[in-house]
Amino acid sequence: MESLKLKCIECGGTMDVDPSKKVLACPYCGSKQLMVDSDEVKIAEINANRDTKIQEIKTKNEVMIKFLDVIGKMDPYVILIISLFLMGIVVGILSEIFK
């Protein structure tokens, strides 16, 4: 996750948020801000998590596109054999789960 940054309410300077601390001190003017689930902190956390999730989805999408490209170049009979093999694994797992 990205580091969270907030603007100082006194001078407008950028402050790095340390989630383990309850008080945030501005490195520029020294003012202190209590960090008790403020809306600004929640919004910053949501934005940081959003950016991380977007990157994860992009990475998974790239992997899926490469996989589909490889599958598209395979012989149809090889695809059929792999599919049957995977279905056998799934059926085996399900039969163990629902004994």
| Spacing of C-alpha 12 from chain mean position | 29
In this structure, are residues 1 and 12 in contact, taking their beta carbons and an 8 Å threshold? no
CB atoms within 10 A of CB 15: 20
User: Residue 44: its pLDDT value, please?
Assistant: 78
Domain count, the chain: 1
DSSP 6: E
Q: Is the pLDDT of residue 2 over 60?
A: no
Q: Tell me whether residue 55 is in a domain.
A: yes
Q: Tell me whether residue 62 is in a domain.
A: yes
For residue range 9-60, what is the model confidence (pLDDT) as tens digits? 899 999 888 877 888 889 999 999 887 766 777 787 788 888 888 999 999 9
Q: Which residue from 22, 24, 47 is spatially nearest to 14, judged by alpha carbons?
A: 24
User: Residue 11: its pLDDT value, please?
Assistant: 93
Q: Tell me whether residue 40 is in a domain.
A: yes
Q: Is the pLDDT of residue 90 over 70?
A: yes
pLDDT band at 62 (very low <50, low <70, confident <90, very high): very high
Q: Tell me whether residue 81 is in a domain.
A: no
- Domain range for 22 is 5-73
